[in-house]
């Protein structure tokens, strides 16, 4: 795309975000919904003002990197690990139960096991982007329910890698020895880093004080810390989003980096917004209208299933019923990382084109409707935020 066409594209997207953001905020609807709405409206399947979404999609990963980076800066790792049972054991239970339910359904519908596994993985992953965005808007990152939910989301994000490995192995794809060795080295290194940061609690890096008096260098210094850790994590074959989270943890533990949050917050807001806009543009309105009974049924079933599974898991591990149901509702949507799992199925032929489009619509619609579902359970449970 030529440079002269970029300005109208981004101007249209920015003004649309501004206008609909103001409208939605006036009626107390979270910003994330307005971002998705703008994407659906402007995209190739909406009014069609934006036909080429490649440029916007290039920002998707950047948006998620900033999201996890800010999560790492704002979450107390020590407090998070005190309640490790729900994030670790709970997520294992939650993924297993979800795959189990899909297995029973697949047995009835005569699905192949590989297809069952892929769909189970897709549905079991919740949206880190939506949930954390809502928790940020409500200032509830460090609430008890917030910590539990974020812990589950982070373990789900980490589980993305073994999910892809399992799907590849079941298709007969062998992982290169080099990649396997790198992952076996990188994983323990990340664990050791977490242990070190927990034990030290606070790290002193006096040279970082130099950036305080230099606004221009602050931006590049902050970006270097964030994306440097992302690149290091990718080198070991691990999720780049895990690297972004680790960078955020490092920043939180370093006394001399208080300025990073203020410096990068505008980048965070912009790229996360663009991420949601690009997700909205993926929704094929014509396909949804043609198959709305099936899609509506699936969206309803997924919301109920994920809420019940996550709420049951939290209650099983000792959480009160009110907090369990609210936490389950927050994890009820299908997440953005499910697009990664779905793309594996699409490229390898595990799912048909119809199934691919249906799941794509399912993911997008659950992301769009998730704030309303969470607000409903917030009222039903009487939890004040």
Output phi, psi for 117, to 5 deg.
-60, -45
Q: List the beta bridge partners of residue 203.
A: 254
What is the pLDDT at residue 256?
57
What is the pLDDT at residue 98?
94
What does the pLDDT average to over 245-250?
Answer: 81
274 touches 55 (CB < 8 A): no
Distance CA 40, CA 277 (A): 8
What is the pLDDT at residue 235?
82
Distance CA 182, CA 142 (A): 34
**What angle separates helix 91-109 from helix 113-124, to the nearest 10 degrees?**
140
150 touches 82 (CB < 8 A): no
CA–CA distances in Å: residue 44 to residues 38, 285, 355:
12, 9, 20
Distance CA 248, CA 69 (A): 5
115, burial (CB in 10 Å: exposed 0-12, middle 13-18, buried 19+): middle
The string of pLDDT tens digits covering residues 53-65 is 666 666 677 877 8
DSSP 27: T
Which token pair is 265?
Answer: 């917050």
Tell me if the pTM is above 0.85. no
Residue with tokens 């501004």: 18
What does the pLDDT average to over 73-101?
Answer: 83
The string of pLDDT tens digits covering residues 161-210 is 788 778 877 776 666 777 767 777 777 776 777 667 666 666 666 666 66
- Asked if pLDDT for residue 1 goes beyond 60, the answer is no
End-to-end CA distance of the chain: 45
Stretch among 93-107, 264-278, 363-377 having the lowest mean pLDDT: 264-278
Distance CA 383, CA 149 (A): 15
pLDDT, greater one: 288 or 179: 288
Output phi, psi for 337, to 5 deg.
-70, -15
5, burial (CB in 10 Å: exposed 0-12, middle 13-18, buried 19+): exposed
What is the pLDDT at residue 308?
95
**What is the length of the chain?**
385
What is the pLDDT at residue 146?
86
Q: List the beta bridge partners of residue 102.
A: none
- Asked if pLDDT for residue 213 goes beyond 70, the answer is no
What does the pLDDT average to over 231-247?
Answer: 79
Which token pair is 120?
Answer: 């189970």
Stretch among 1-10, 38-47, 370-379 having the lowest mean pLDDT: 1-10
- Asked if pLDDT for residue 298 goes beyond 90, the answer is yes
What is the pLDDT at residue 229?
85
- Asked if pLDDT for residue 77 goes beyond 70, the answer is no
Closest C-alpha among 100, 85, 77, 101 to residue 314: 85
Dihedral sign of CA atoms 340, 341, 344, 350 in order = negative
Distance CA 175, CA 159 (A): 17
What is the pLDDT at residue 4?
46
pLDDT, greater one: 176 or 279: 279
What is the pLDDT at residue 2?
46
Top-confidence range, 74-88, 219-233, 241-255, 352-366 = 352-366
90 touches 68 (CB < 8 A): no
The string of pLDDT tens digits covering residues 253-275 is 776 566 777 778 888 888 888 88
- Asked if pLDDT for residue 278 goes beyond 60, the answer is yes
Residues of the chain above pLDDT 90, percent:
24
159 touches 96 (CB < 8 A): no
Residue with tokens 């979404």: 53
Compute the half-sphere exposure of residue 306: CA atoms within 13 Å on the CB side of its CA. 28
Distance CA 130, CA 235 (A): 28
Distance CA 271, CA 56 (A): 10
135 touches 149 (CB < 8 A): yes
164, burial (CB in 10 Å: exposed 0-12, middle 13-18, buried 19+): middle
């Amino acid at each position: 795309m030529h440079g002269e066409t970029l300005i109208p594209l981004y101007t249209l997207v920015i003004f649309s975000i501004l206008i609909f953001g103001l409208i939605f905020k006036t009626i107390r609807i979270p910003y994330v919904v307005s971002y998705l709405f703008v994407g659906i409206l402007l995209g190739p399947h909406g009014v069609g003002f934006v036909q080429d979404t490649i440029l916007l999609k290039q920002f998707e990963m950047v948006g998620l990197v900033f999201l996890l980076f800010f999560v790492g800066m704002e979450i107390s790792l020590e407090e998070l690990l005190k309640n490790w049972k729900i994030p670790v054991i709970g997520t294992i239970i939650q993924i297993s139960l979800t795959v189990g339910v899909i297995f029973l359904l697949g047995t009835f519908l005569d699905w192949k096991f590989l297809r069952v596994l892929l769909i189970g993985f897709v549905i079991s992953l919740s949206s880190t982007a939506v949930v954390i965005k809502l928790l940020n808007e409500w200032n509830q990152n460090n609430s008890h329910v917030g910590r539990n939910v974020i812990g589950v989301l982070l373990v789900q994000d980490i589980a993305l890698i073994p999910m892809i490995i399992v799907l590849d192995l079941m298709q007969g794809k062998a992982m290169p020895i080099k990649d396997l060795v790198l992952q076996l080295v990188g994983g323990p290194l990340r664990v050791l880093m977490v242990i070190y940061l927990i034990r030290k609690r606070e790290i002193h890096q006096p040279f970082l004080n130099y950036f305080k008096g230099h606004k221009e260098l602050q931006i590049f210094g902050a970006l270097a810390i964030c994306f440097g850790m992302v690149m290091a994590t990718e080198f070991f074959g691990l999720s780049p989003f895990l690297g972004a989270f680790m960078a955020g943890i490092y920043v939180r533990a370093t006394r001399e980096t208080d300025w990073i949050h203020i410096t990068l917050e505008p980048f965070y807001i912009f790229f996360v917004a663009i991420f949601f806009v690009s997700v909205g543009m993926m929704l094929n309105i014509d396909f949804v209208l043609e198959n709305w009974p099936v899609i509506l049924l699936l969206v309803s079933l997924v919301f109920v299933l994920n809420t019940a599974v996550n709420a049951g898991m939290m209650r099983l591990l000792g959480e009160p019923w009110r907090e369990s149901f609210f936490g389950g509702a927050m994890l009820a949507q299908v997440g953005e990382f499910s697009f990664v799992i779905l793309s594996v199925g699409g490229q390898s032929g595990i799912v048909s084109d119809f199934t691919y489009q249906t799941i794509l619509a399912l993911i997008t619609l659950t992301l769009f409707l998730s704030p309303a579902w969470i607000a409903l359970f917030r009222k039903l449970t009487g939890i004040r935020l």
